[in-house]
Structure formats: structure tokens, C-alpha cells
Structure 1
Amino acid sequence: MRKLLFALSFSGVVFAVPKIEVKDAWVREVPPVSSMSAAYMVIENKGDAPDKLVGASTNIAKVVELHETVGGKMRKVKALEIPPGKSVELKPGGYHLMLINLTEKPKEGQKVEITLKFEKSGEVKVKADVKKSEGGMHMHEGH
């Protein structure tokens, strides 16, 4: 028993924690006929332990999924690891959040609140600017 108490108190001294910060969040403006949009951002872990983005939600879409674009095709990803001391960028052509079954169409100039869910850090709320995509629409209708 004494060894267990020592191990517990010692591990408390070197307890590693993630520290998540999110910046440059934006949501793609979409035409009125579109039922989907996408969100992008930079997620930075300033802590000394890894964390994982495991989900997200927003008030403008019924479903939010984490996707990765590989070879021009999208696939759903269960979680995205954010290593300690590193940042991971969600960007067009890479990882991104798909906003599916939009209940409201994001328009340029608006802000959209997105709640990110992390394995260790819990919920992190982000305000994302709505912007027009550079280079036209590359939406994933029929995806």
C-alpha cells in the first residue's frame, strides 16, 4: 500500500497536461442550394501531453464530422491527434470539419460558433468567421 501511495503522489508531480488553443477558424460560405459546408482552423497544443479532437458540434448544422482529403477523396476520421508542442491545421485539401445538413446557410461576414470536443481537454468553443472560398467551390455534394 505504501508503494502505491508513493507512486500516486510522485506521478502527480510530473503530471502532463495538454493545453489547447485554436486560431484562424473559418467556415466556407456556400450557395443557398448547398446542404453542407466546411470549417477550417489551426489547433495548437501548448501543453506537454497529447490530446485528440474526437468530435464537434455547431448550431448551424445537424451533424459535424471530422474528414480528411486523401487523393481527391474524402474519408471520415474518428479522431485527430494534436501532439504536445505542435499545431495541426485543418485546411482545404487536408483535414477539415464537415458541417452536414445545414439548418442555416453561413454567409460571408457572419460568425459561427463551433464546439470542439477533445479527449482530455473537454469542450472548447470557437468563433469562426464565414468567408468565401478562394478558387471557387469545391464542395462535396453527393459525398
Structure 2
Amino acid sequence: MEVKDPWVRLVPPNAKATAAYMKIENKGTEADRLVDASSNVSKITELHETVEGKMRRVKAIEVPAGKTVELKPGGLHVMLIELKEPLKEGQTVEITLKFEKSGEIKVQAPIKKGMGGMHHHHHGH
């Protein structure tokens, strides 16, 4: 299991939550599932997907054998909720991903502004 290009969205200092995105590549011969996540900057970390503009929590993210699953804005993502402190651009967040078969994988995700040129989906408050 390999995690590539992880990043966390930069949010205003008063924001209580942000999202983390990454590509998860399953190099193995059997399917695996991302079942949980945690980070050093948030009290609560959840797996979410965006469906028709609404975010909902998912129990697991399937990663089929030999495939790459992309967590990206407007799709699947890891929500970091109840941030312990304001996050700054360029800071690195440690995220621990828990897979059903592969166990725990720790990734270092830099904080970046939302990618330019992509469609921005605003979540209603």
C-alpha cells in the first residue's frame, strides 16, 4: 500500500475543520480498505465522501487490488475535525491511516491552498 501526494487544505484561522487529500495505491494482489484515520492536529478524524454536493461520512474506503484511489476535492476525503490550533501554510500534518489488512501507515501531509484551476466546491455552513 503506497500513499502519494498527500496534502491538507489551508483554511482560515477560525475554521474548526479541514480536509486531507491523497492518492492511495494498492500494489498488492488483494483488495484492502481504509477503515480509520487520525491526525496530530485534530481531535476527530473521519472518512467522508461528497455526493451531489453533500458530504457524508463513510465507514470505509475501498482500495481494489492493483488500483489507485484518489482522495480529492469534491470526492472522497479525510476530514480533520475540531482542529487543536490554527494551521499555517507550509506546516506539515501527520496523518495515520488505518487499513483493514495493511495496518497503519503514517503520512506527512503539507498544508497547501486549494489547487488553482480546479473547481471549488463550497460547503454550506
TM-score of Structure 1 vs Structure 2, range by shorter chain: over 0.9
2:95 to 104, 114, 136: 114
What is the Cα-based RMSD across aligned positions, in Å?
1.6
**Greater relative contact order (Cα < 8 A, sep 6+):** 2
Letter in 2 for 1:47: G
Which has a greater percent of helix?
1
Residue number in structure 2 paired with 1:44: 25
State the 1:139 CA deviation.
5.7
Structure whose alpha-carbon radius of gyration is higher: 1
Any stretches of 5+ residues in structure 2 without a counterpart?
none
In 2: Cα distance, 1:138 partner to 1:104 partner: 24
Residue number in structure 2 paired with 1:62: 43
TM-score, length basis structure 1: 0.81
In 1: Cα distance, 2:63 partner to 2:120 partner: 28
Residue number in structure 2 paired with 1:80: 61
TM-score, length basis structure 2: 0.92
State the 1:44 CA deviation.
0.3
| Identity rate, percent | 65
8 Å Cα contact 2:28/2:66 also seen in 1? yes
2:85 to 104, 110, 118: 104
In 1: Cα distance, 2:99 partner to 2:71 partner: 15
Q: Deviations over 1:106-136 (max 9, x none)?
A: 2111111000000011100000010011369
| Structure 2 residue matching 1:75: 3-state secondary structure | strand
Which has a greater percent of strand?
2
Matched residue pairs, number? 123
In 2: Cα distance, 1:106 partner to 1:27 partner: 10
8 Å Cα contact 1:27/1:106 also seen in 2? no
